[in-house]
Amino acid sequence: MRRLVATGPALIVLLTAVLVAWLTPGVVGRAGYHATSARITLAQQTLDDTSILDQLNAAYMSVAEAVGPSVVHLQVRGMGEGSTGSGWVFDDKGHIVTNAHVVAGSVRVRVEFDTGRQTEAEVIGVDPFTDIAVLKADPGAGLFPARRATGHIPRQGQMVFAFGSPFGFKFSMSKGVISGLGREPLSLASYGGYTNFIQTDAAVNPGNSGGPLTDHKGRVIGMTVAIATGRDTQGTIEGQSAGISFAIPLATIESVVPQIINTGEVRRGFLGIAMAQGASAVIEQADFRGSGVLVSSVEEGSPAASGGLRSADVIVKVNGQHTPTSAVLRAAISSIAPEEKINLSVFRQDKFLDISVVLAEFERDRLVGNELIQALVRTGLAFGEDPEGHLEIARARGFAASVLELREGMRVTAIDGRGVASIEEAHQTLFNAGFLSGGRISMRVQTTDENGSRAFRDLVVRTPPRNLPFNRR
């Protein structure tokens, strides 16, 4: 009996422990389930009762409804190649804006609207310096021009929406913010001479090129031109979105497009200053902290001189737009038409001044020559004259030799089907044929073999790929 009495309490304790161990997980599990269920219910009620998210969601959908009918999908056929891109309706007369590189070398361009209607479009003008092209399409029963944020200066942090056809997925939309302003990625800067891009983190991929970038009210503030990836932080290469894309500001588009529509050519503003090379001038004042462009000299009789600019002035803004570098200032001035009055914010002797200047016209021949030579250098191509005065290939390196199959000493007889006899004629013909925009241009050359026999060859020349989002297929 003593042994039973002695072991009885221990046995009871053991059985109780086993029972508790068996029941506890179920109790705890049920308690955890009920707690999670309560949190889910509370979260759902909060979302149902919150109007802010409903308003935000409705605003996003309204942007899509407002902008969508103004976006177009482009199918471009060139010399045996096809590509796709995007564009947007500029006015109710059928003018459509896109990138020059999207339609470079095009033989046929077909436009598709969001309704599914398709029609042929004519390229009526291209500006390779800003990478802007204008098409003309049949307006049909009526078009819906995109609303534009004319006069509004984009700001960092501003919400934006990118529209287009990434990877051929037509009429897509993505959202982001303006990450930076006045950007000058190197490969884009050398592509057409223009820098001063809006940087955004909106998802942009090959095929978005030419599509509109809008603000939260559905107003166009720019046009998508390129993307960047982590492989090249200084330039751009074709690839998938990595959170960095660039757009041409609306102010540039509104300066260039009407000129193309009205006259077929673009005139550019000229200020008449020399800018100091190297780093920008840094200003740290109570009312301004940032950088500007140091004026090293002012050309006598120029608009800058007439407006009162002086050597050692620092230009920080043009028409309210910040100009942190000489490249951005140059782009801002050249994108404004001659004879227009601009307002400069200038820092001089610890004071800020507002100076008004009426721009003159930048000499077209000088502009064409500078930009074309840069493009030829990138291609590895240079023209010269042989001892008899005939036009020849004086330099063929890199891309020109390995891809275009050009050789030094080849005599050039025609470019784009036109006879050329001088370096100047060759440059002008290449420019007119769209060389700066990546167009594929025919070139007839005369070769001489080891036996002195001469033969003609028809080659195709173009700039090396600038790795812009062509979405080539």
296-338 pLDDT per residue, tens: 899 998 999 999 999 889 999 999 888 888 878 888 888 888 8
Across the range 15-42, mean pLDDT stands at 70
Known catalytic membership, residue 101: yes
Q: pTM here?
A: 0.74
Contact at 8 Å (CB) between 222 and 154? yes
Computed on alpha carbons and rounded to an integer, the radius of gyration of the chain in Å comes to 31
Known catalytic membership, residue 209: yes
Among 31-35, 102-106, 134-138, 408-412, whose mean pLDDT is lowest?
31-35
Per cent of the chain over pLDDT 90 is 35
Alpha helices per DSSP H over 140-242 = 186-192
Q: Tell me, what's the pLDDT at 70?
A: 95
For 220, the token pair is 């166009």
Determine which one of 209, 255, 291, 335 is catalytic.
209
- Report how far residue 364's alpha carbon sits from residue 270's, in angstroms, rounded to the nearest whole number: 11
At residue 295, what are phi and psi to the nearest 5 degrees? -85, 120
Q: Tell me, what's the pLDDT at 48?
A: 84
Contact at 8 Å (CB) between 391 and 385? yes
The rounded Cα 225 to chain-centroid distance in angstroms is 2
More confident residue, 377 or 273: 273
Tell me whether residue 175 is exposed, middle or buried, using C-beta atoms within 10 angstroms of its C-beta: 0 to 12, 13 to 18, 19 or more: middle
- Report how far residue 195's alpha carbon sits from residue 237's, in angstroms, rounded to the nearest whole number: 16
Where do we find the tokens 């800018």?
A: 275
Determine which one of 131, 201, 215, 313 is catalytic.
131
- Report how far residue 267's alpha carbon sits from residue 259's, in angstroms, rounded to the nearest whole number: 8
Across the range 381-396, mean pLDDT stands at 88
Q: Tell me, what's the pLDDT at 202?
A: 92
For residue 421, the one-letter residue type is: A
Where do we find the tokens 């050692």?
A: 312
Across the range 35-50, mean pLDDT stands at 85
Q: Tell me, what's the pLDDT at 231?
A: 43
- First vs last C-alpha separation in the chain: 96
Element spanning 299, H or E: none
Q: Which of 169, 111, 168 is nearest to 140 (CA)?
A: 111
